Each structure stands twice: as structure tokens, then as C-alpha cells.
């Protein structure tokens, strides 16, 4: 089954609902987007009103161009929108996709929300779409994100050296590449992650 960028995919469980990002989510997420520490490791900064408006516009344009598919993340426990995540770099010939651009407000981090989101996204990608692999990655200095990816079953696959400017303002930093394969999902990762929810 091919990924349909025009279809409104909704993924949910008892804890979280992921819905396609729309213009209306700009207002619902803009207060969280003002948390400057969210954007420390992003190349496309979104500090403040104008930058976040551009961020949402670019995400929507990415979907129209069939390059990216962004979700708004709704936390059912808190009854609030918590952040966003997206699929990107879809390759129909290789049957692969990447997952990233994930951010949540400070009130939602460490709450189990991310594990629920990843469970739904992985299940959708492997069980509904039949992808062979999902690629993920992070700035090498972003220890929290790297730990989060490993905790949901991702395996480190390599390092791209000197890809990013250093966050500390001098020199360069690496990108760490991780991934999860369809067979890993069905063999162990699905059950392991489900037990953590």
C-alpha cells in the first residue's frame, strides 16, 4: 500500500490522538511554540509568532508537495494539544520513510506521551502501510532525544560527521542516525514498547 498524502490519517489510543496538521493548529500550538528550548536542535527555528506561522505553513506545503506528512498531537489526559511530529522522506520504490520533527511542550515531556505516539506511528507505518524501515536521527548533542529514540526500540545505525553547526557556537557537531525495521517491530520492539505504555 502506498502512502497517500491526500488522506487524513488519524491515529489514536486511550492516551493520545494524532491528527493531520492543519492551519487551525497554529492557534492551538502557538503558546507551546514560544518555549524557546524546544527549538535548540532544530535547523528551522520557530521561536515566536512569525517563525511558528512560517513553520506550520512550510509543513502544510510539504504535505501538498507529497514530501512530508505532519501530525498535531493531542494529549487526551490533559485535554490539550501537546506538540507535533511528522513523516518525511517517503520513498515508494524502497518502501521506506523517516520520522522526525518531533516536539512537545515542557508539560508533556517525560509523561509517556512520546512512547504512545511512537507506538501508534510505528504500528501505522509497519502494519497498515507495510514499510520496511523507519529512519530517525538527531543532533549528537541532543542526548534527551537520542535516549528517547533508543527507549522506543530504535537502533543506532551510524553517524554523519560534522553535519550541524555546534549548538555551543563553535565548531561542528555530528548527526546520529537510528532506525527500526519491520522485522524488529514484529519480533520484539512492538511488545517491548507496548509494555512501556
Q: What is the pTM of this model?
A: 0.95
- Domains: count for the chain: 1
Q: Is residue 135 part of a domain?
A: yes
Q: Is residue 103 part of a domain?
A: yes
Q: Is residue 2 part of a domain?
A: no
Q: Is residue 162 part of a domain?
A: yes
Q: Is residue 169 part of a domain?
A: yes
Task: Note the pLDDT of residue 44.
Answer: 61
pLDDT bracket for residue 49 (50, 70, 90) = low
CATH number, position 23: 3.40.630.30
Residue 169 pLDDT exceeds 80: no
The 3 state secondary structure assigned to the chain is: CCCCCCCCCCEECCCEEEEECCCCHHHHHHHHHCCHHHHCCCCCCCCCHHHHHHHHHHHHHHHHCCCEEEEEEEECCCCEEEEEEEEEEEECCCCEEEEEEEEECCCCCCCCHHHHHHHHHHHHHHHHCCCCEEEEEEECCCHHHHHHHHHCCCEEEEEEEEEEECCCCCCEEEEEEEEEEHHHHHHHHHHHHHHHC
Q: Is residue 3 part of a domain?
A: no
Amino acid at each position: 500500500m502506498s502512502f497517500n498524502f491526500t488522506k487524513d490519517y488519524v491515529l489514536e489510543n486511550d492516551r493520545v490522538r494524532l491528527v493531520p496538521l492543519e492551519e487551525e493548529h497554529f492557534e492551538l500550538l502557538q503558546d507551546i511554540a514560544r518555549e524557546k528550548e524546544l527549538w535548540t536542535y532544530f535547523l528551522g527555528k520557530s521561536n515566536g509568532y512569525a517563525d511558528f506561522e512560517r513553520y506550520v505553513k512550510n509543513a502544510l506545503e510539504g504535505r501538498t508537495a507529497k514530501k512530508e506528512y505532519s501530525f498535531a498531537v493531542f494529549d487526551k489526559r490533559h485535554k490539550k494539544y501537546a506538540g507535533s511530529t511528522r513523516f518525511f522522506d517517503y520513498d515508494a520504490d524502497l518502501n521506506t520513510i523517516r520520522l522526525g520533527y518531533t516536539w512537545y511542550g515542557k508539560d508533556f515531556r517525560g509523561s509517556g506521551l512520546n512512547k504512545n505516539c511512537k507506538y501508534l506511528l510505528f504500528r501505522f507505518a509497519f502494519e497498515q502501510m507495510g514499510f520496511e524501515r523507519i529512519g530517525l536521527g538527531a543532533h549528537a548533542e541532543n542526548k534527551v532525544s537520542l535516549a528517547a529514540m533508543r527507549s522506543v526500540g530504535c537502533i543506532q545505525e551510524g553517524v554523519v560527521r560534522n553535519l550541524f553547526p555546534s549548538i555551543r557556537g563553535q565548531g561542528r557537531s555530528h548527526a546520529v542516525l537510528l532506525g527500526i525495521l519491520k522485522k524488529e517491530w514484529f519480533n520484539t520492539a512492538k511488545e517491548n514498547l507496548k509494555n512501556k505504555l
